[in-house]
Amino acid sequence: MQTANMTNNIKKLSLITLVVAASSTAMASDGGFFSNVFGGNGYQPTGQGQEIYQEECSACHLAYPAPLQTKDKWLKIMSSLDDHFGDNAELAAETQKTITDYLIANAADTNGESSKLSKFARRSRDNGSLRITDLEGFKRKHDEIDKMRMVVNNPDVGSFSQCSACHGDNAQKGIFDEDTVKIPNFARWDD
């Protein structure tokens, strides 16, 4: 009788260990409890055009992960490059088509629907703006940052569109975990 109870207890313990291990692995791959809405393993872009997109768009700002916008908004952005938020960002027709196709294939409401980035974009109320920095969620995540002192007048940042300035190499991977933020010329950011 005692051996049977011991065997049952070992089986229960083994099952509990297996469940905990599986849960831990899932949490780690999903950014864990302490990862913010953008955290996790980052965005893994798919499709042709990703390299061209990175090359062309990161010349002026972070080449934002495609799931941060819907396909309709990417189409509007890419069809008005002659006045791209006050700048002329026109591209050769073939390059523009390649980038547009890439962005649409990975937009929040297409291929990237299950990523944290696309969920973030789709949950942000549409205020009509095409700027990712105008997304409700973006503003909420950055509301405690003194925009003028820490961003605009900070010579190593200058604009919220320069995500890599504070998020480092993680930004290019689509990882915006607030635990790794380092605002240049200021102490490590701690919310």
All residue ranges of the chain with pLDDT < 70 are: 1-47, 111-115, 122-125, 188-191
d(CA 57, CA 91): 10
d(CA 8, CA 41): 38
Length of the chain: 191
Asked whether the whole model's pTM tops 0.75, one would answer no
One DSSP character per residue, 109-178 reads TTTTTTSHHHHHHHHS---S---GGGSHHHHHHTTTS-IIIIIIT-TTT-STT-HHHHHGGGGGGT---G
Ramachandran sector of residue 158 (left: φ over 0; alpha: ψ -120 to 50; beta: rest): left
pLDDT of residue 67: 86
pLDDT of residue 21: 36
Q: Where do the structural domains in the chain lie, given as residue ranges?
A: 50-180
pLDDT of residue 114: 59
Ramachandran sector of residue 174 (left: φ over 0; alpha: ψ -120 to 50; beta: rest): left
pLDDT of residue 141: 87
pLDDT of residue 32: 31
pLDDT of residue 12: 45
Q: Which amino acid is at 24?
A: S
